[in-house]
Amino acid sequence: MRSYFYPATFAGLYKLLALVGLDSVELLTLLPRILQACLSAYADYRFHVWCRQSKWSTFLLASSWCWFYVGSRTLANTLETSLTMIALSYFPWASECTRFLWPVALSFFVRPTSVIPWVPLCLYHIKKSTHPTWELLLKRYLLIGLLTGALCVGVDSYFHGAVVFSSYEFLKYNVLKGVGSFYGEHPWYWYLSAGLPTVLGVCVLPFLAAGYESVRHRKVYKERAILLLSVCFTVLVYSLLAHKEFRFLLPVLPMCLFITADYLARWSRKASSKMIWFTALLILSVNGLMAGYTGLVHQRGTVDVMPYLATTAKDYRDEFNNPAKILFLMPCHSTPFYSHVHQNVTMRFLHCEPNLTDQPNYQDEADQFYANPMGWVRKNLPVHPLSALPTHVVTFDVLEPQLKDFLSIYQEKVSFFHTDYPTERVGGFVKVYERYDRNAAAGASSTTSTTAVPAMEDESDPLYNP
């Protein structure tokens, strides 16, 4: 369902680090972000060129909280947005150039839905071209598509070990079979009421004004009107799908910023300097607060916990001289995984595969766990021997009451702030528990008047009573 093209880039980077003996946790986690950040920076430059070096366009892009938040993240949507910016900078508004098709084609094979914003733009390009339509489609669109597709299909087939068209699989499962709805559904108007306003932040206000002006005077602002059509078409198509996420709107972000920047540039010619400064400071302060909170505070615990686990796992040995065995009892993919630990230790998280085999009353592993946490523990974790149990358990604080019997043989080692808005599954703090060392506990109890360590294999303990 997903192309290997993007992750293969990081795999090659990892292999290079391993060959030169520099594959430390710091470089494994930092260099992919730097690589994506460099591509995003180049996309920023191309956006600046596309906007004819407008000050407002540069300001809006630099102050965008959303682009700040995702610009260095190794999401396929971030790559998709970067390629969209690059392609837009080459789009032939007044020429016959077709260079924009290369990044569009690559983006399509990385993430097929990225073609949606380009449907109105490509139709406009074909309509205005002086070349015959058949010639343009065969010698440009089809040829570039086939060459790019051959590269991407070749990469995917090599890694899968068989010929595979990941773009087709992606569309088949996510669109035709609606597998995406397994991960949540939203009403059709969600992108209008929450998605687009959140992605744009405070810039949604001038964007709405610019949109109104573009529609009203579409012959005057022809470029803006076509881009607005592309944005509306994308939102419409995505609104028809049950599963919705903020990141799906990232490719239309540069289009929205271009429309807004062009409107503000024209508005500022007549506005007073005080109004211009007030508008700029308002945009900067609101977006700055959103960027700072989402980037530095909100939901940071699942990332902050990983350096602690990496340090702990490096030299850890339990009482049986076994290495660390880490169990994550939280929603699937909540934390980074082996790249942030980079040790030969056992780690496990709750899985959440969709129901690809159409099983009746299907529940993924994560849902089974949250439906009955202690029942899942008794069913999936060994009763004997003690060495088979995880040495460390990572979970959210909201699960402590439900897991108290299981955690009775563990002691809390550290806690990390996660969010100000806890839910039933995602708590305010991420906590790490370490299994008691009976030998150390015995030595400690001999010097104290009370025993702080519970019995390890008490038959009355539900964990040890099958």
Rg, Å, the chain Cα set: 26
Let me know whether 337 and 263 are in one domain.
no
Q: What is the mean pLDDT of residues 426-452?
A: 71
Query: What pairs with residue 435 in β-bridges?
Result: 410
pLDDT > 90 in the chain, percent = 79
> Does residue 36 fall inside a structural domain?
yes
Q: What is the mean pLDDT of residues 60-66?
A: 96
- Separation CA 17–CA 180 (nearest Å): 35
- Is 461 a residue whose pLDDT tops 50? no
449 or 207: which carries more pLDDT confidence? 207
Let me know whether 313 and 286 are in one domain.
no
Phi (first) and psi of residue 414, to 5 degrees: -160, 155
> Does residue 121 fall inside a structural domain?
yes
Task: Tell me which of 275, 297, 319 is where a domain ends.
Answer: 297
pLDDT at 442: 59
pLDDT at 441: 58
- Is 460 a residue whose pLDDT tops 60? no
The kind and range of the H/E element at 225 are: helix 222-239
The answer to which of 82-91, 96-105, 227-236, 436-445 has the lowest mean pLDDT is 436-445
CA distances from 426 to 211, 308, 395 (A): 38, 20, 9
pLDDT at 244: 92
Q: 121 with 98: CB under 8 angstroms?
A: no
Let me know whether 274 and 339 are in one domain.
no
Let me know whether 243 and 384 are in one domain.
no
> Does residue 418 fall inside a structural domain?
yes
Structure confidence by residue, pLDDT tens digits, 271-311? 999 999 999 999 999 999 999 999 999 999 999 999 999 99
- Is 21 a residue whose pLDDT tops 90? yes
> Does residue 453 fall inside a structural domain?
no
Instruction: Say which residue the tokens 């699942």 belong to.
Output: 302
Structure confidence by residue, pLDDT tens digits, 441-454? 556 555 544 444 44
pLDDT at 449: 43
- Separation CA 82–CA 61 (nearest Å): 12
**Number of domains present in the structure of the chain:** 2
Let me know whether 344 and 397 are in one domain.
yes
pLDDT at 347: 95
Structure confidence by residue, pLDDT tens digits, 164-183? 999 888 888 887 777 877 78
Q: What is the mean pLDDT of residues 375-403?
A: 92
- Separation CA 260–CA 56 (nearest Å): 9
436-444 contacts: CB < 8 A, separation 24 or more? 436/409, 436/410, 436/411, 437/318, 437/319, 438/319, 438/386, 439/319, 440/319
pLDDT at 458: 43
Which of 129, 86, 459 shows the shortest CA–CA distance to 251? Answer: 86
* Confidence band of 15 (pLDDT split at 50, 70, 90): very high
**Spatial CB neighbours of 416, under 8 Å, sequence gap ≥ 6:** 300, 301, 304, 305, 308, 429, 430, 431
- Is 261 a residue whose pLDDT tops 90? yes
Provide the residue range defining the domain that includes 320. Answer: 300-355+362-437
Let me know whether 81 and 228 are in one domain.
yes
> Does residue 445 fall inside a structural domain?
no
Q: What is the mean pLDDT of residues 450-462?
A: 42
- DSSP calls for 97-164: --TTHHHHHHHHHH-GGGGTTHHHHHHHHHHH-SS-HHHHIIIIIIHHHHHHHHHHHHHHHHHHTS--
pLDDT at 446: 52
- Characterize the bridge pairing of strands 325-329 and 392-396: parallel
Kindly state the tokens that stand for 337. 């995984």
Task: Tell me which of 251, 269, 297 is where a domain ends.
Answer: 297
> Does residue 66 fall inside a structural domain?
yes
- Is 459 a residue whose pLDDT tops 80? no
> Does residue 463 fall inside a structural domain?
no
> Does residue 462 fall inside a structural domain?
no
Let me know whether 160 and 15 are in one domain.
yes
Let me know whether 292 and 327 are in one domain.
no
- Separation CA 156–CA 8 (nearest Å): 9
Structure confidence by residue, pLDDT tens digits, 136-167? 999 999 999 999 999 999 999 999 999 999 98
Let me know whether 282 and 400 are in one domain.
no
Instruction: Say which residue the tokens 């060392």 belong to.
Output: 437
SS3 call for 182: helix
Structure confidence by residue, pLDDT tens digits, 378-390? 999 987 788 899 9
- Separation CA 61–CA 283 (nearest Å): 11
Let me know whether 182 and 304 are in one domain.
no
CA distances from 153 to 109, 147, 149, 294, 365 (A): 8, 10, 6, 36, 32
Looking at 191-272, which runs of residues are DSSP E strands? none
Across all residues in the chain, what is the average pLDDT? 90
pLDDT at 176: 78
pLDDT at 453: 43
Q: What is the mean pLDDT of residues 331-360?
A: 91
pLDDT at 236: 96
Which of 144, 146, 143, 138 shows the shortest CA–CA distance to 165? Answer: 146
Q: What is the mean pLDDT of residues 208-213?
A: 96
The kind and range of the H/E element at 280 are: helix 273-296
pLDDT at 181: 77
Let me know whether 278 and 197 are in one domain.
yes
- Is 346 a residue whose pLDDT tops 80? yes
Let me know whether 23 and 72 are in one domain.
yes
pTM (2 d.p.): 0.89
